[in-house]
A and B are shown apart, each in its own frame.
Chain A
């Protein structure tokens, strides 16, 4: 247990790997016109601390966008969104 991998963010997870959500960083300050609290939204979609997730596919080139499975649902997201989610890879 002491050798558990270090906490990282979802955008670095390789395709096919699983992880557990640890924490959601508050979204970086955006312009006044965005109007969305991205962290809150991600939580509403199921990215809640404690949930297991799995990276299904990464696009080419640059691994963007990502297809991530949380629970029974698959979501597509861009890398900078995934970077808000701290995870512990398995």
Chain B
């Protein structure tokens, strides 16, 4: 073992290079190109900003470690992201080794903005290299850049890169070999940056641009023409609504085939086990507990992937900031900052990253309101619940050839979440007192085609997160629920299925007293309890509960027909309304406690969401009962 130690030491001295650049310069694409799958994603200590590190080997055989720093417009930091970037570059973070060299990534089509940061960083006196990224787009547009002259003006090596093309990083690798970073150079104090005013820096940028670039043949890009429609005061919002509508339609219509395949697969496994295993407790655990529970959650993987496919495509091509622009009036109208859009949008995936992303909002009151309404955005964990009930109760009917009734109901549920979030924000703002205006300052980057590789990586990441949850949290809870639902067994001469007499059954029947007025029977009440750990567990729990409730010989692992038989439409609609608000998510509440550093806000959140959920379900149930006779 002793012989290995010197090697470890030399590995620790692998040169560390940091990628630094403006947002939207293609820095992360370049990082992915350099490191491939060899990435470690973690958080910087004490903050929830992602720290991405990876490694690669140059053509000369030298290994490098590479750090993808958060995008920054300036090193005189305004946001927590920029503060991290500043501190890492200047070697001020105790937990982070100072980089041996800095690779400044710039967008070749937008040097006027990007070069200012390069000039700022240069004042720190670190070994530097300029990666002129997206140079293919610049060439196509007819922007001529004299790289030799640029290198001379900036007094640093300049290489051309195309991060989205295989081999587009070659020039950078060769330049890093030639540079051979290794000797640590200590950065000059940060005060060096402010020694020159922003105006003077911009004058220098203009001088360099005049000397090195020519826009004489610049054909411009399509972005402005597209924006003419996308940001149009009337057409823009219509397009946004149509786009969102299309997404929810696709979630249902595209997912049908893969979902049937998963159901059939789980059924086949269940039957095979039933046929080959002796009847008894263990078989019940595997077939009813594990397959019945986990299988009913697993089936929603295609729908989640389709939803994220659209979110990732819209993000990659540059549409999302436009959506923020279009919705800004609405956000401002209820007193939210424009910056609240991104945390709220992340909450469609899960409220937890959304609540953590609220850290980018500087005003504490504003941040608090954003945190409080984030769980009202329909997170992907609710999708299985919605999809299950919609598939069971809403007929799959075309309304006019294009619009399906199921997609429409899903769209309405998402909209109900957004609408109630806006209403709650408005009330919070009123009760918390007057408030000054909040800045927006959001870049609308150029449009570009989404990159398949990034898209595939993003979807893979999502599938992994979902399957890990199914395999860990959900599986554990299902096994636990099976035990609670199976013991104690049914007494002699029992008229109900065994689960009715079990611990879970007793709990469900006790809760039924509270939930009967909104139409929930004891089976649903049992499912609500493990649903507090993660919302989609409720679906798995229903799977287990109903699998165990069946008395017949044949055992269906697919849940949809069972609930279609045993619930009334009013109960189904009531449960949908419940999940629009659905206060029961322990991890969200604990993150709120951590982020606000008090018990007060998670309690308020749980209280107001429970009240809203109960009220909405009560109204839905009663109106449905009345309307349906």
Q: Are B227 and A67 in contact (CB under 8 A)?
A: yes
Interface string of B441-474 (1 = CB under 8 A from A): 1111100000000000000000000000000000
Residue from A34, A48, A58 in contact with B362 in the complex, judged by beta carbons closer than 8 Å: A34
Q: Per-residue 0/1 for A4-32: is the Cβ within 8 Å of any B Cβ (1 yes, 0 no)? A: 00000000000000000000000000110
User: B231, A57: Cβ atoms under 8 Å?
Assistant: yes
Asked if A78 contacts B338 (CB within 8 A), the reply is yes
Q: Residue B325 contacts which of A46, A49, A59, A71 (CB distance < 8 angstroms)?
A: A59
Contacts of A34 in B (CB 8 A): 362-363, 436
Q: Are B231 and A43 in contact (CB under 8 A)?
A: no
| A56–B224 touching, CB < 8 Å | yes
User: A33, B363: Cβ atoms under 8 Å?
Assistant: yes
Q: Let me know if A44 and B116 touch, CB within 8 A.
A: yes
Given the known inter-chain contacts A33-B365, A36-B78, please indicate yes or no for A42 contacting B441, CB distance below 8 A.
yes
B444–A76 CB distance below 8 A: yes
Q: Which residues of B contact A77 (CB under 8 A)?
A: 439-442
Is B198 interfacial (CB-CB < 8 Å)? yes
B112, CB-defined interface residue at 8 Å: yes
Flag if B439 contacts A78 (CB, 8 Å).
Answer: yes
Instruction: Tell me whether A64 and B443 are in contact (CB under 8 A).
Output: no
**In the complex, are the beta carbons of A78 and B328 less than 8 A apart?**
yes
Of the candidates B199, B227, B329, B440, the one whose C-beta lies within 8 Å of that of A74 is B227
Chain B residue, CB-CB nearest to A15: B233
* B227 engages A76 (CB within 8 Å): no
Assembled-state Cα–Cα distance A3/B153 (Å): 39
Tell me whether B439 and A38 are in contact (CB under 8 A): yes
A73 touches which one: B110, B199, B362 (CB < 8 A)?
B110
The answer to the question of B353 belonging to the interface, with a C-beta cut-off of 8 Å to chain A, is no
Nearest chain B CB to A66 CB, angstrom units = 9
Complex alpha-carbon distance, A74 and B76, angstroms: 21
Contact with A along B201-218 (1 / 0, CB 8 A): 011001000000000000
- B440 close to A76 (CB less than 8 A): yes
In angstroms, Cα B10 to Cα A30, docked, is 52
A60 contacts the other chain (CB 8 A): yes
- Most-contacted residue by chain B among A35, A45, A46, A65 (CB, 10 A): A65
User: What is the number of contacts between chain A and chain B, taking CB atoms within 8 Å?
Assistant: 128
Please report which residues of chain B, range 221-250, place their CB below 8 angstroms from some CB of chain A when the two chains form the complex.
223-224, 227-228, 231-234
> How big is the A interface, by class?
35 or more
| Least distance between B338 CB and chain A CB atoms (Å) | 7
What is the number of residues of chain B that contact chain A, defined by CB distance less than 8 Å? 44
- Are B110's CB and A45's CB within 8 A? no
Instruction: Please tell me if the beta carbons of A73 and B198 are within 8 angstroms of each other in the complex.
Output: no
Q: When chains A and B are docked, how far (Å) is the Cα of A74 from the Cα of B324?
A: 14
Q: Which of B112, B198, B329, B438 has the most CB of A within 10 A?
A: B198
Task: State in angstroms the CA–CA spacing of A42 and B324 once bound together.
Answer: 19
CB–CB B441/A75 < 8 A: yes
B36 within 8 A of A: no
Instruction: Find out whether the CB atom of A73 lies under 8 angstroms from the CB atom of B113.
Output: yes
Measured between beta carbons, the chain A residues less than 8 angstroms from B441 are 41-42, 45, 75-77, 81
Q: How far is the CA of A56 from the CA of B438 in the complex (A)?
A: 22
Closest B residue to A80 by beta carbon equals: B437
Please indicate the chain A residues that have their CB under 8 angstroms from the CB of B443 in the complex.
45, 73-76
Q: Mark A50-74, 1 if CB is under 8 A from B, else 0.
A: 1100001111111011010111111
Question: Which residues in B have their C-beta under 8 angstroms from that of A58?
Answer: 233
Nearest Cβ distance between residue A78 and chain B, in whole angstroms?
5
Inter-chain contact A46/B324, CB cutoff 8 Å: no
Cα of A41 to Cα of B329 in the assembled complex, Å: 22
Chain B's nearest CB lies how many Å from the CB of A60?
4
- Given the interface pairs A48-B199, A56-B227, the reply to whether A81 lies near B363 with Cβ below 8 Å is no
Report B528-584 residues with CB < 8 Å from chain A CB. none
In the complex, what residues of B have CB within 8 A of residue A36's CB? 78, 362, 439
Q: In this assembly, does B74 line the interface, its C-beta being within 8 Å of a C-beta of chain A?
A: yes
A78–B442 alpha-carbon span in the complex (Å): 10
Contact residue among A33, A45, A65, A67 (Cβ-Cβ distance under 8 Å from B329): A65
Note all chain B residues with C-beta closer than 8 A to A81.
Answer: 439-441
**In the bound complex, how far is the Cα of B456 from the Cα of A49, in angstroms?**
43
The reply to whether A44 and B109 form a contact with Cβ atoms under 8 Å apart is no
Expressed in whole angstroms, the minimum distance between the Cβ of A5 and any Cβ of chain B is 23
Rounded to whole angstroms, the CA-CA distance of A45 and B22 in the bound complex is 10
Enumerate B54-111 residues with CB–CB distance to A below 8 Å: 73-74, 76, 78, 109-110
Contact with A along B317-356 (1 / 0, CB 8 A): 0000100111011001000001000000000000000000
A-B contact pairs, 30 of them (CB 8 A): A33-B362, A33-B364, A34-B363, A37-B78, A41-B441, A43-B199, A44-B198, A45-B73, A45-B113, A46-B113, A48-B199, A48-B202, A50-B202, A56-B224, A57-B231, A59-B233, A64-B329, A65-B329, A67-B227, A67-B325, A70-B113, A74-B443, A74-B444, A75-B443, A76-B324, A76-B444, A77-B439, A78-B437, A78-B440, A81-B440
Q: Which residues of A contact B (CB under 8 A)?
A: 30-31, 33-38, 40-46, 48-51, 56-62, 64-65, 67, 69-78, 80-81
